[in-house]
């Protein structure tokens, strides 16, 4: 028997209920959000990249950012089926302060957020973490290990980012599918543990 579809963020597929969850992938400028969603998405990701021009030189801090010629101006979007019961819709939101309105619109209905962090620029994550907390969105930290990045212990990261003991912290490489998927799974497990 094929069940009747239900409204909202859940739908029936065959006899199984398949949950579609909206997950934000957030983080400061050039932390690897677009790369992360591009690595994981099973559909061609929607990207809104624009070339960075001279006009942005004093606005977007390119210090420590190598080879970057474009930036996201609205959002990234991708989809990842974790298993036959759960599909994640990934929304990447621009990190720069001038896009706060976009970020706020995008956060509606989000079940959780993966906060990407660059280990060389930990302090730049504070503004985004403040926003996620302000909107009460549960989150996990994914440290995007750029080549040659300093390796902090988990305890150092927790202290530097002032994290709650239950907040998951995981290391990934946004270009690597396995480690990026692991970061999302750890967020999903955390979200599930909160609803039990
Ligand atoms: N070495 C290394 N480079 C990475 C990694 N993740 C992303 N990059 C590079 O870092 C740069 C920034 O990545 P993006 O994915 O554009 O970052 P973003 O967060 O979407 O940037 P904005 O949308 O401009 O805020 C790109 O040149 C990527 O190729 C990583 O894990 N390791
Ligand atoms: Mg981007």
Residue-range domain boundaries for the chain:
10-195
DSSP 8-state code for residue 42: S
9, pLDDT greater than 70: no
- Nearest residue (by CA) to ligand 1, atom 9, is 32
pLDDT recorded at residue 7: 47
pLDDT recorded at residue 68: 80
What's the rounded Cα separation, in Å, for the pair 173 and 154?
A: 16
Determine contact, residues 68/62, Cβ cutoff 8 Å: yes
Q: Collapsing DSSP states into helix, strand and coil, what is residue 131?
A: helix
pLDDT recorded at residue 196: 75
Is the distance from the beta carbon of residue 67 to the nearest atom of ligand 1 less than 6 Å? yes
Global pTM reads: 0.87
> What are the backbone angles phi and psi of residue 55, rounded to the nearest 5°?
-60, -25
Position 75 confidence tier, pLDDT thresholds 50, 70, 90: confident
What's the rounded Cα separation, in Å, for the pair 95 and 128?
A: 7
C-alpha angle 5-105-157 in degrees, rounded to nearest 5: 105
Give the mean pLDDT of 86-108. Answer: 85
Determine contact, residues 92/76, Cβ cutoff 8 Å: yes
pLDDT recorded at residue 140: 98
Say which residue, 23 or 97, is predicted with more confidence: 23
4, pLDDT greater than 70: no
Determine contact, residues 160/104, Cβ cutoff 8 Å: no
> What are the backbone angles phi and psi of residue 192, rounded to the nearest 5°?
-65, -40
Is the distance from the beta carbon of residue 25 to the nearest atom of ligand 1 less than 6 Å? no
- Nearest residue (by CA) to ligand 1, atom 1, is 146
Pick from 66-75, 77-86, 178-187: least confident: 66-75
Three-state SS string over 29-58 comes to CCCCHHHHHHHHCCCCCECCEEECCHHHCC
Domain 10-195 CATH class label: alpha beta
pLDDT recorded at residue 6: 45
Mean pLDDT, rounded, of the chain: 86
Q: Ligand 1 test: best mutation among 25, 174, 176, most atoms within 8 Å of CB?
A: 174
pLDDT in tens, 58-67: 666 666 666 7
91, pLDDT greater than 70: yes
Determine contact, residues 33/99, Cβ cutoff 8 Å: no
pLDDT in tens, 123-173: 999 999 998 998 899 999 999 998 877 789 999 999 999 999 999 999 999
């Amino acid at each position: 028997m094929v069940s009747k579809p239900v409204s909202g963020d859940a739908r029936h597929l065959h006899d199984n209920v398949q949950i579609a969850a909206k997950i934000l992938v957030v983080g400061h400028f050039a932390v690897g959000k677009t790369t992360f969603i591009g690595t994981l998405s099973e559909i061609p990701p929607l990207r809104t990249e624009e070339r960075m021009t001279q006009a942005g030189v004093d606005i977007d801090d390119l210090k420590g950012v190598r080879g970057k010629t474009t930036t996201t101006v609205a959002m990234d979007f991708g989809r990842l089926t974790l298993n036959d019961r759960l599909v994640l819709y990934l929304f990447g939101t621009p990190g720069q302060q001038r896009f706060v309105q976009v970020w706020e619109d995008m956060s509606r209905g989000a079940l959780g957020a993966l906060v990407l962090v660059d280990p060389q620029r930990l302090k730049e994550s504070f503004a985004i973490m403040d926003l996620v907390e302000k909107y009460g969105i549960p989150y996990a930290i994914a440290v995007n290990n750029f080549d040659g990045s300093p390796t902090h212990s988990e305890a150092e990261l927790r202290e530097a980012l002032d994290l709650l003991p239950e907040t998951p912290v995981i290391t990934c490489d946004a270009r690597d599918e396995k480690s990026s998927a692991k970061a999302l799974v750890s967020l999903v497990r955390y979200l599930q543990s909160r609803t039990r």
